[in-house]
């Protein structure tokens, strides 16, 4: 459920989230997108945005998840919510991945220092050198919702929709 800090059911104690939770300030970050442009926590201005951490480009579950988010992106945009995917892949790999999937949202490279943004959000998997599967909805400089799932499990699209619906309306 959006806004909860708990791990996905059955994901075990090793998957319990660390890092910021609902109400906490968004950690500072500066990442390059697939075009080499820098995106920071303030790039969207005052617009809310999802930071969608995922393990690796071109993997089965990640591809399915990002394709589903692309299909729903217009729904989020009607509420002024942007989507950014974040992985430890290089910007050149992310550009090819975004083109292959036909993504209209930006993919951010947490490539070097390796996983620095994922670490600041408490969702870096040191044992495997990848981001864990964690989503943060950022609004007004704070975490408005957070939800996580096990590496092999997709986050449900309904969690994204509920998080957006919980945002205050202008």
Structure confidence by residue, pLDDT tens digits, 40-59: 999 988 899 999 999 999 99
**Average pLDDT rounded to a whole number, residues 142-147:** 97
Q: State whether the Cα torsion 43-65-101-119 is positive or negative.
A: positive
What's the confidence (pLDDT) of residue 17? 59
Write out the CATH class of domain 13-165.
alpha beta
The set of catalytic residues is 62
Would you call 38 helix, strand, or coil by DSSP? Answer: strand
Please list, residue by residue across 94-114, b when 16 or more beta carbons sit within 10 angstroms of its beta carbon and e when fewer do.
bbebbeebebebbbbbbbeee
- Express each pLDDT in 77-94 by its tens digit: 999 999 999 999 999 999
- Write out pLDDT tens, residues 4-33: 444 333 333 344 458 899 999 999 999 999
Q: pTM of the prediction? A: 0.89
Strand 49-53 vs strand 130-131: parallel, antiparallel, or unpaired?
unpaired
Among residues 39, 5, 15, 156, the alpha carbon closest in space to that of 109 is found at 39
Give the model confidence (pLDDT) of 112-126 as tens digits. 999 999 999 999 999
The residue extents of the domains of the chain are: 13-165
Q: How far apart are CA 61 and CA 35, in angstroms?
A: 24
Cβ(39)–Cβ(32) below 8 Å: yes
């Amino acid at each position: 459920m959006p806004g909860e800090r708990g791990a996905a059911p059955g994901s075990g104690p090793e998957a319990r989230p660390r890092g910021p939770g609902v109400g906490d300030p968004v950690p500072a970050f500066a990442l390059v997108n697939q075009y080499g442009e820098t995106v920071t926590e303030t790039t969207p201005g005052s617009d809310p945005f999802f930071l969608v951490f995922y393990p690796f480009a071109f993997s089965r579950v990640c591809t399915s998840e990002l394709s589903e988010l692309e299909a729903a992106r217009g729904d989020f945009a009607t509420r002024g919510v942007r989507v950014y995917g974040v992985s430890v892949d290089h910007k050149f790999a992310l550009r090819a991945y975004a083109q292959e999937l036909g993504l209209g949202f930006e993919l951010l490279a947490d490539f070097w220092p390796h996983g620095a943004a994922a670490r600041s959000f408490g969702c870096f998997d040191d044992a495997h050198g990848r981001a864990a599967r964690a989503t943060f909805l950022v609004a007004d400089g704070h975490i408005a919702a957070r939800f996580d799932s096990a590496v092999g499990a997709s986050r449900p699209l309904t969690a994204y929709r509920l998080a957006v619906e919980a945002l205050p309306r202008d």
